[in-house]
Structure 1
Amino acid sequence: MKNNLHFISPKILSFSWGSMEVEGYGVGKDFKLYPGGARSWDWSETGTEHSPGIQPEDIMELIEKECEVIVLSRGVYSGLGVMDSTIRLLEKNKIQYHILDTKRAVEVYNELVNENFRIGGLFHSTC
């Protein structure tokens, strides 16, 4: 764990159906969060769809940002899948992970930010 501001991940300030507010980054629908930053998570970059879900390509940026823990949000009703190959990639890189519905994912993510982990996450605010 590092306490340098460059390594602090932004908190999620609010979440409701179809909308999230991220500290220092404003409001959006889906987010990719990581130590020192955040950006919109555009599924079309990798061709992500609800099924089969989050693919290895979706988390590569988080791995490259040296996240110790990654939170994967499956949506409000867990309608977004997670590919087995994504989980294998996390395990291969010895990255702790949490796969949760969005409400719980936001809670866990913010708790880990408070504990100064190098945390990353993919957050989907609908389905």
Structure 2
Amino acid sequence: MTQVSPIVKKMQWGSIVVERLDENGVVVPNAEVSYRDAKLWPGGSRAWDWRETGTGHFPGIQTADVEELLTYNPETVVLSQGVLHVLQVPQATVDYIHKKCPNVEVLVRPSKKAFELYNELASKGVRVAALIHTTC
């Protein structure tokens, strides 16, 4: 069975709810998982812990934040800027993705638009990955 990118069920300030996938990347019916911020990819999801990479609103999303996403061979990567557009997305991070995976499309959007776009692509079967920040 093909691994899918999990659908975001709901996002509100400080929380994102995503459908749960099993260890094979298959949707578990009627099961969800909640995060403060999320890393999403074809076949899974997990909490996005900024402390792992030194991410902050400034200097923004680090190349180390996207490295894990690229291991899942996405066609598209969606990077959120936060609800209030405070989270920076440095050009160096976008350039890193293009250098490592030249055919990957990178889309940068405020969080609400980011998760809506992510869901639209995921529901069409696109191998999409994302970093979603649920506050500022």
Q: Which amino acid aligns with 2:82?
A: G
Identify which of 116, 128, 131 aligns with 1:119: 128
Whether 2:5 is the aligned partner of 1:9: answer: yes
User: Aligned with 2:57: secondary structure?
Assistant: coil
Q: CA deviation at 1:84?
A: 1.8
State how far apart, in whole Å, the 1-side matches of 2:65 and 2:97 are: 12
**Structure with a larger share of its residues in helix:** 1
Q: CA deviation at 1:99?
A: 0.5
List gaps (5 residues or longer) in structure 1: none
How many percent identity over aligned positions? 41
User: Aligned with 1:23: secondary structure?
Assistant: strand
Q: Which moved more, 1:22-31 or 1:58-67?
A: 22-31
Q: CA deviation at 1:5?
A: 3.1
Whether 2:40 is the aligned partner of 1:43: answer: no
Q: What is the 5 A alignment of 1:20-39?
A: 20-24=16-20, 25-39=32-46
Residue aligning to 2:23: none
Residue aligning to 2:107: 98
List gaps (5 residues or longer) in structure 2: 21-31
Q: What is the 5 A alignment of 1:45-64?
A: 45-64=52-71
User: Aligned with 1:5: secondary structure?
Assistant: coil
Q: Which amino acid aligns with 1:52?
A: P
State how far apart, in whole Å, the 2-side matches of 1:100 and 1:44 are: 22
Q: CA deviation at 1:52?
A: 1.3
Q: CA deviation at 1:97?
A: 1.1
